[in-house]
Amino acid sequence: MDPSRKRREVWKFISFAMILSSIFMIYPILYSIYLSLHTMQGLQSVFVGLGNYVRMFQDTIFHKALFNNFVFLIFQVPIMVFLGLLLAFVLNTPKLVGRTFFKLALFLPSVTSLVSYAVLFKMMFQIGGIINRGLLAIGIIQQPLDWLNSPFWAKVTVIIALCWRWTGYNMIFYLAGLQNISDDTLEAADIDGANSFQKFFRIIIPQLKPVIVFTTITSTIGTIQLFDEVVNLTGGGPSNATLTAAQLIYNHSFVYTSNFGYSATLSWALVVLIAVLSYAQFKLAKDDRQ
């Protein structure tokens, strides 16, 4: 086939995909930049230049929302990653009875309907819910905790819900990574007298490093974009104690004054933040020998 004709045939195949990408990806990105430079007054958009960005840096509610995101990030992501690793290590034991059942049970929350599990958690963490009754019965607390209406305990409730839902999801990645670790390596460690603790931290974790980096970055991105859990569990309350940046963007778009320009500005702030955090994690996890 003539090379020029071959190139034309190739362009015919990829042109439709490129058109769709331009319509549904590139255009929204460019239009969001345009919106971030405008503010809405009724149905009219007025050019304000960097005015929305100046407003963002002065917006104490946005700062509070970002702080909440980082609180969830600092506590939830390490807990979820460590528990996922630990569960994967245990479930990778060949002699464990019921491994398939436990894998399914731990992965099931990640595919459960968000609304249904949020309703369940709200029932469990009510003042008269099963959590308070259980803690009272075993003597850990002397009076019921107001989980959903206390600024501190509302954050704890969201973190528990996130860990419950996504730990099993990360665990599946670690299980796949564990199956790629040679049995000869672990057998050699057994011969050398290594216990389970030493094998976990000295052999398994170093070889799972790429998987850990991947799950940490995706968990970080998900936490920065956190929206569904706080909306359904606490509504961002009490007193914005669990308000996240994504929920604030939604509020500015559809709850407050429908200012899509300022919402686009906040969205781009999250994009930059996610890019910086992802780059930092890649650099921290990079092997010094490379």
pLDDT in tens, 210-256: 899 999 999 999 999 999 889 989 989 888 999 999 999 999 988 88
| Single-letter code of the amino acid located at 172 | I
Rounded to an integer, the average pLDDT of 5-21 is 80
39 with 53: CB under 8 angstroms?
Answer: no
| One domain for residues 75 and 215 | yes
Q: Are residues 134 and 5 in the same domain?
A: no
Parent domain of 44: 1-48
Q: What is the pLDDT of residue 287?
A: 55
**pLDDT tens profile 61-96:** 999 999 999 999 999 999 999 999 989 988 888 788
How many CB atoms within 10 Å of residue 18?
Answer: 11
Runs of H (alpha helix) within 108-195? 114-124, 130-137, 151-178, 183-191
Is the same domain home to 228 and 282?
yes
CATH of the domain at 181: 1.10.3720.10
Shared domain for 157 and 93, answered yes or no, is yes
Instruction: Count up the domains in the chain and report the number.
Output: 2
Which of 175-179, 188-192, 212-216, 270-274 comes out lowest in average pLDDT? 188-192
| pLDDT score for 2 | 67
Are residues 2 and 109 both part of a single domain?
Answer: no
% of the chain residues with pLDDT over 70: 97
- Residue 1: pLDDT band by 50, 70, 90 thresholds? low
Question: Is the domain of 60 the same as that of 34?
Answer: no
Who's near 176: CB < 8 A, 6+ residues apart?
211
Distance from C-alpha of 258 to C-alpha of 247, rounded to nearest angstrom:
14
